[in-house]
Amino acid sequence: MAIQAFLVASFVFSWLASTSNGVTTFSSLQQTLIVTASPHPGQVMKAGEDKITVTWSLNTSLQTGIDSTYKTVKIKLCYSPISQKDRGWRKTVDILAKDKTCQHKMGAQPYTNASNNSLTLIVQRDVPTATYFIRVYACNSADEEVAYGQTTDTKKGSNLFEVRAISGRHTSLDIASVCFSTFSVVSLFGFFFIEKRKAKALQTK
């Protein structure tokens, strides 16, 4: 009897653990947020430099109280399908804990049902060159995603923008080439100056 109770209890416990932990699927989320972002379609944003303004609000044509469990919103930069092709490490998986689409978190803030929520965020330096859109997740008090909104359509094909990474190597190459050209200009003037003086010296002789 005690053993049976224990077995039932442990079965129930493991079932609860498996349903409440890490198995939220993207397809189970409702699209209730309307999200817009400042980049124009095709605009190129520089990582570590350019800022993106994200505005989000609840779609007011939905039933009231649909957002009663929303506590926070998380703003994420997500790879478009073009930039996921042949790259397993950016793959879309329906189980959100395994999904690699929206790896780059831009920011978070408490959820409000105001119509003018807006946040300006810098594109982090570690964001690689790719084509992106922005998705905002609404999370409940257990920090589980319950709803979302995004700047693109369901096929993730429209209204995409680019991020261009600035790698350290390029920056130092740029600095090196600037130094080199400054050096060449200075030495060119130096040569002219010396040659002129030589010519003058010859003339006066």
Ligand X SMILES: *[C@@H]1O[C@H](CO)[C@@H](O)[C@H](O)[C@H]1NC(C)=O
Q: Rounded to an integer, what distance in angstroms lies between the CA atom of residue 78 and that of residue 54?
A: 14
Reduced to 3 states, what is the DSSP secondary structure of residue 85? coil
Q: Which of 23, 29, 34, 108 binds ligand X (CB under 6 A)?
A: 34
Q: Which of 7, 9, 62, 82 binds ligand X (CB under 6 A)?
A: 62
Q: Which of 14, 118, 124, 184 binds ligand X (CB under 6 A)?
A: 118
Residue closer to ligand X by CB (options 64, 141) is 64
Q: What's the closest the beta carbon of residue 99 comes to ligand X, in angstroms?
A: 22
Reduced to 3 states, what is the DSSP secondary structure of residue 5? helix
Q: Does residue 61 bind ligand X (CB under 6 A)?
A: yes
Of 41-49, 114-122, 156-164, 180-188, which segment contacts ligand X by CB under 6 A? Answer: 114-122
Q: What are phi and psi of 28, to 5 degrees?
A: -85, -10
Reduced to 3 states, what is the DSSP secondary structure of residue 28? helix
Q: Does residue 21 bind ligand X (CB under 6 A)?
A: no
Q: Does residue 83 bind ligand X (CB under 6 A)?
A: no
Give the C-alpha distances (Å, rounded to integers) separating 125 from 49, 53, 55, 161, 164: 8, 17, 22, 16, 10
Q: What's the closest the beta carbon of residue 62 comes to ligand X, in angstroms?
A: 5
Structure tokens at 111: 């959820």
- Footprint of ligand X (CB under 6 A): 34, 59, 61-62, 114, 116, 118
